[in-house]
Each structure stands twice: as C-alpha cells, then as structure tokens.
A and B are shown apart, each in its own frame.
Chain A
Amino acid sequence: EAQVTQNPRYLITVTGKKLTVTCSQNMNHEYMSWYRQDPGLGLRQIYYSMNVEVTDKGDVPEGYKVSRKEKRNFPLILESPSPNQTSLYFCASSAQTGGGSQYFGPGTRLTVL
C-alpha cells in the first residue's frame, strides 16, 4: 500500500530536549516536504527536499533541521524545542517537484512544555 508514515504520532516533551520526527514514504518519490499546522495560521511549509541530499527552506524554517540521506526518509529534527513549536506536523511526498499529487502522512501532534 502506497503511504507516508510518520513517527511518533503524538509527543509531549520539554523545552530544550532534542527530538526527531521520522517520515518515510514507499512510493519512490523524489519530492518530500514538512509542514506545520496551527489554528488561525493554516499550513505553513518548514522545509522541502527535491531529491537526495537536496533540501531547501520553506516559510518557517527557524528552529528546525532536516536531512535527506536516502530517498525514502526525510526526518525533521528539533535540536532545542521551544513551546512555540507546539503544533501539528505533516510530512508529504510527491513524484513531481512543485506539482502533482502530494501524499500526506497522518500527522504528528507535538506539545513542548
């Protein structure tokens, strides 16, 4: 089954404790992206990757890191989480950069205390 998986689905952590949210897709897609969703602000892009070892900033990259060492995985790293990073995070992938159907993961709800 074609899918994008994210782990964990729910996470409560404390300020400053490094964490990683994993994202994996099994469709051999070149393009992957991370978004955060906040009430009243909608969906905003954090980082995206056009291919292995190619990543670029979206609209809200501050406080986040990503890596794309292999095509299927695109982890999101919060080196020192802060409460303003409490949000719902989505990973997505697509066969075509900038277009085509994006497949979304189920979301990760992160709370930073």
Chain B
Amino acid sequence: GIQVEQSPPDLILQEGANSTLRCNFSDSVNNLQWFHQNPWGQLINLFYIPSGTKQNGRLSATTVATERYSLLYISSSQTTDSGVYFCAVNYGGSQGNLIFGKGTKLSVKP
C-alpha cells in the first residue's frame, strides 16, 4: 500500500517564527488533507488540497502531486498552533479510504 511520511517528527519553535512541515507519499493520490490535533485531542481539518496552493490566514499549503509531496507553512506561529499536524491521503479506486501519516508534533514556546 501507499506510504505517507511526515517530517520532521518533532518541531519546537519560538512564538513568531515560521515553519514548514512536509508530507511525502509514495504513490499517486486522489486527494490530500491536512489536519491539526490540538493538545486537548480535538481534530480540525485545515486544508483539502489534492494539488496547487491554498491559504487560510497564517497557514498555507502546497501540494505538488507530480512530485508526491505536500507542504504546510505556518507563519508567525502562536502558542495556539501547538499540537500535532497530520496529512492524510486517499488513493486508488476507493474514494473513502484515508491513510494518515504519523504526524509532526509542534510546540510553540512563548
């Protein structure tokens, strides 16, 4: 099956810094999503981005499907950005099956 790898596994930032999280996948995908899990366990969908670039406030994401990777940019990080960021992909003929990466744990220090 498809492999989804995220890097770095852990990231510590000072408040105000920028960061880039990466998601590599080993096969062609139908779509790709980014999620944030806050320290209380709540999961929030950030982007649905099978290709191209999207922006939402301080966050933006780019997926280069032909090169099998996606990037999540966080600018001017805040302590509320802390948590774990997951990417998940759907591939093949089954449109409902989502495969998650193991996540990047981000800690933003004040």
Contact = CB atoms under 8 A, between A and B. Distances in A.
B83 interface: no
Interface of chain A, helix or strand or loop or mixed? strand
Nearest to B30: A98
9 contacts: A33-B96, A33-B98, A41-B102, A42-B101, A48-B98, A98-B94, A98-B98, A99-B95, A100-B48
Interface stretch (B11-19, B36-44, B62-70, B74-82): B36-44
A43 B41 contact: no
Nearest to A103: B45
Interface string A48-71: 111000001011000000000000
Contact of A102 (B33, B50, B94, B97): B33
A53 to B, nearest CB: 14
A86 interface: no
A81 interface: no
Interface of A: 31, 33, 35, 40-45, 48-50, 56, 58-59, 88, 90, 92, 97-104, 106-107
B99 A59 contact: yes
B100 A44 contact: yes
